[in-house]
Amino acid sequence: MTKKYALGLDFGTNSCRALIVDLENGNETAGFVFPYPSGDNGILLDAKDPNIARQNPRDYLTGIEVSLKGALQQAKSKYADFKAQNIIGIGVDTTGSSPMPVDKKGTPLGLLPQYKDNPDAMVWLWKDHSSYAEAAHITELAKKIRPEYLAKIGGTYSSEWFWSKILHCRNTAPDVFKAASSFVEICDYIPAVLSGDTRPDKIIRSICAAGHKAMYNDSWGGLPDKEFLATLSPEFGELRERLYSKAVPSDRLAGRLSPEWAEKLGLAPGIAIAVGAFDAHMGAVGAGVKEGTLVKILGTSTCDVMVSPRKKGFTDIPGVCGIVDGSVLPDHYGIEAGQSAVGDIFLWFVNHLVPDKYGTSLEEKFKNLETAASSQKPGEHGLLALDWNNGNRTILADVRLSGLLIGQTLHTKAHEIYRALIESTAFGALTIINRLEEYGVPVREIVNCGGLAAKNPFLMQIYADVTGRPMKISRLDQTCALGAAIFGAAAAGKEKSGFESVEKAQEAMTGVKKTYTPDLESHKVYKQLYLLYQQLHDAFGTEKWEGKMYNVMKELITLREEQNK
């Protein structure tokens, strides 16, 4: 039998990856990573405003070609019998909400000479928080006149999302806004590029991006209505018409590979290009998400994804930012939660606050921090942190929060703070699990994927110990790209792929390679620490909290002493 393959294209925060997957078992045939050349690790920053994070669309275009060619070449050199013509479909996942302004032809404004140095004409990366005021304004307005919009997104519209960013663009860069014929999420743009038609009105839009970030819902006729948008800004009423009226799941076709791209890459022209989606959602599919299974994609930030069958109906969950029909698996509600920064917090710490006695390279520093931290018992360092350096996505949905560290003595070491930061993200993760279960979504299994899950056993063990639950690791490291490839196969249809459904493809192609079991002694201590975390969490993060703080330092010191005995 001829081997068949699908291609996953995964556009992350700092790089993009092409992955060729064997449809028989989900194994990686070949993969290639292209780090974005622009800015700071691919991100265009502003020294005066830590909220700003943009990307150059040119990096994506280069990335498509370089990563696809790289993967194809690797496959050929690894397997003599590999034939690029046996690739039956391509799926694409990206970060999001990462919209960009485009002109009538669909050319990103950032690629035009007159905007090439204008960050406002670039891609507004998911973690750009400059539009926090607009987010608050949108939330306020929706509370007043369209509360149903908020119910699906956890009650608060985020500065990380589509409308906030576009409204901020309109408010602070009116020239760019005026020049934009439409705004396109990069998860919709890349498939359109591959299909050879980027005209905004021709681009097939993803239900995942639309539903989770743009308040799209079929029940109210798609995007927010004209009246609502016009109240936000008079120009928004018209803009609505230049956006889209329909969004669809990723087992559907975005288009077919254009002859130009087919020739450039040596692929069969006309193969399926699946509708794009966000990395976390496709990653969840690649990690085997199903009812009862929480998939955590642990990277610079995390996305926590679950699904709930459409037939069971659904209750809104406060603070859980997205519940969208079909955004993850067809016929299921996709539920998205997440932490605004996880790996980013560790990277920040190691880049800015770890002396060279731990090593000279980032890698050495991480390794030595881990070695030193892993010899400690929970609570021994006496520290407690809040994981809010980049705000809190779930369950507070508030970007105007910050990091906090408590318990430092004159002897606190960098590796102790590193451990406390890891623990803080674990407490954040537990807070999300608790909220899901409180609202009737039982978590029976947790499958982890993403860079941190694959590379950081120390972190995964702490997550198991803090939550008191086994932490499973997805078999393939590159679950986002695998999920994209699964959708590439699904979009190609049963005849080509052999799979009746996305779920059947998952059964064949996904799995677990390792499980971290909680240590019960450690879990007992972490239960105490979690109470203090919750106290700080509620005190600093919620308006309604009122109480005492005097116990916090005392309890941390007492625990430190007990654990040092």
Residues that bind its own copies (CB under 8 A): 48-50, 341, 344-345, 348, 351-356, 382, 388-390, 400-414, 417, 539-543, 545-550, 552-554, 556-557, 564
How near is the Cβ of 45 to its own copies at its closest, in Å? 8
How near is the Cβ of 518 to its own copies at its closest, in Å? 27
Q: Give 304 or 555: the residue with its C-beta nearer to its own copies.
A: 555
How near is the Cβ of 470 to its own copies at its closest, in Å? 30
How near is the Cβ of 384 to its own copies at its closest, in Å? 10
Residue 555, number of CB atoms within 10 A of its CB: 19
Q: Give 407 or 450: the residue with its C-beta nearer to its own copies.
A: 407
How near is the Cβ of 140 to its own copies at its closest, in Å? 16
Q: With contact defined as beta carbons under 8 Å apart, do 332 and 326 qualify? A: yes
- Nearest-CA neighbor of 5 among 475, 482, 510, 328? 482
How near is the Cβ of 397 to its own copies at its closest, in Å? 14
Backbone angles phi, psi at 222, to 5 degrees: 95, -130
Residue 175, number of CB atoms within 10 A of its CB: 14
Instruction: Give the whole-angstrom CA distance, residue 421 versus residue 427.
Output: 10
Whole-angstrom CA distances from 491 to 92, 275, 310, 487, 500 are 11, 8, 21, 6, 11
Q: Give 390 or 448: the residue with its C-beta nearer to its own copies.
A: 390
Exposure on the CB side of residue 213, measured as CA atoms within 13 A: 30
**Number of residues that make up the chain:** 565
Q: Give 190 or 354: the residue with its C-beta nearer to its own copies.
A: 354
Beta strands in 73-215 (DSSP E): 87-94, 99-102, 123-124, 182-185, 205-206
Q: Give 53 or 473: the residue with its C-beta nearer to its own copies.
A: 53
How near is the Cβ of 211 to its own copies at its closest, in Å? 28
Q: Give 77 or 545: the residue with its C-beta nearer to its own copies.
A: 545
How near is the Cβ of 554 to its own copies at its closest, in Å? 6
> Is beta strand 54-55 parallel, antiparallel or unpaired with respect to 123-124?
antiparallel
Q: Give 421 or 429: the residue with its C-beta nearer to its own copies.
A: 421
> Is beta strand 182-185 parallel, antiparallel or unpaired with respect to 99-102?
antiparallel
Q: Give 257 or 386: the residue with its C-beta nearer to its own copies.
A: 386
H-only helix segments in 493-519: 494-497, 502-509
- Nearest-CA neighbor of 48 among 158, 130, 161, 157? 130
For the CA atoms of the chain, what is the radius of gyration? Answer: 23
